[in-house]
Amino acid sequence: MEISPSLEIITIIVDGFRRRKNIFAILEKRSGKQRRMMMMGGYVFRSDEQERITSRFGGDFYGKLVGDLDVYTEKWRLDALSLIPSYSANLVFLCHSEDYGDAVLKIGDPAFPETRSEYLALRHFDGGRFCRVFAVDADKGALLIEHVKPGIPLRKELSLDKRLSVFCSLYRGLHAEPAEPERFPSYTGWVNRITEYMSQRQDCVELYEHMKKAREICLEVARRYTQKMLLHGDFHHDNILLGAGGEYRIIDPKGVVGDPVFDVPRFILNEFDNEITDGLFDKINSIVMALEESLRIPQGILRKCLYVETAMGMCWCVESGAGPEEMAKLMQTVVFAEAVLNH
């Protein structure tokens, strides 16, 4: 389950913008070439950042990264790089390009399938309500994409009705059949893979039982809903950002093939509150019914998809290193999704 950024992360991001402002004040009278030369390398990593990058991607990746930043700084005419402290499939930098304006540089391990799938998905969706792709170095896993501004995530919208309206408007017409579906993972493949992983975790027997049940439900839904469309794969509030003119834009597609019904539950999952309460149960049921009416998907299917997505998401947390102290919360979340399923 996605969570909102911590105060520490927000502070680092704000500091990054302040640093960029100071840099531009100092260099505003310099030529473009002078600015690039002065900013060559673009970013000096703190020791804690180096440690986290090395832990996530490996020492070889970090050593290569430093040189690659030099290359991209010159090739794409970048300056004022500012690292966003998110260490998932990619490293993410805010930056400025003389050719494209404010941008986001994403660098991932090209050996990671997630890096390739995101690039292919963005190329498939080709702008529209998605952020634009400015430049690509597919061999090195680098993307230079549009920095959506002001970039306020849909999570910040206080009205649930408004959040639902925005999500549904973006969902309609989003999906299309990919020209080369074999280049993407499948949603059922995701489910099968994490189920197989959990079968080997002797310390998570109860969660594995939920994942086995979720897999059977997923395959049942997939037999009925058989479209092979390209899905976003992580279509939730923090990947829906307010752009220019008050129009919301979509970022960070995972790129996975399946029926569009499987692109709905991540949004519902991200409406879960930190505490499981009767009020939350009522809220999620009202969301399911609203989506049934707006998207014309039976609520029984939405409930099944939510259970599958929740079980898979909690198992991904285990795979990513969640400790024993977090297991109770993960189980509580899956059990809650099962209660919604059985309502």
The token pair that represents 157 in the structure block = 């919208």
Question: Cα-flanking dihedrals φ and ψ of residue 80, to 5°?
Answer: 55, 50
Task: Convert the pLDDT of each residue in 73-82 to its tens digit.
Answer: 999 999 999 9
Closest CA to 109 of 81, 86, 139: 139
Q: 269: helix, coil or strand?
A: helix
Mean pLDDT of the chain: 88
d(CA 181, CA 230): 8
Q: pLDDT value at position 167?
A: 98
Q: pLDDT value at position 234?
A: 96
Average pLDDT over residues 210-223: 98
d(CA 226, CA 268): 22
Question: Residues 180, 255: contact at Cβ < 8 Å?
Answer: no
Closest CA to 16 of 157, 147, 156, 155: 147
User: Any idea which of 1-5, 166-170, 182-186, 236-240 has the lowest mean pLDDT?
Assistant: 1-5
Please state, for a pLDDT cut of 90, what percent of the chain lies above it. Answer: 70
pLDDT over 60 at 41, yes or no: no
d(CA 309, CA 65): 34
Q: pLDDT value at position 139?
A: 83
Letter for the amino acid at 343?
A: H
Q: pLDDT value at position 42?
A: 61
Question: Cα-flanking dihedrals φ and ψ of residue 256, to 5°?
Answer: -145, 145
pLDDT over 90 at 102, yes or no: yes
The CA–CA distances, whole Å, from 227 to 8, 43, 186, 242, 253 equal 42, 44, 11, 30, 18
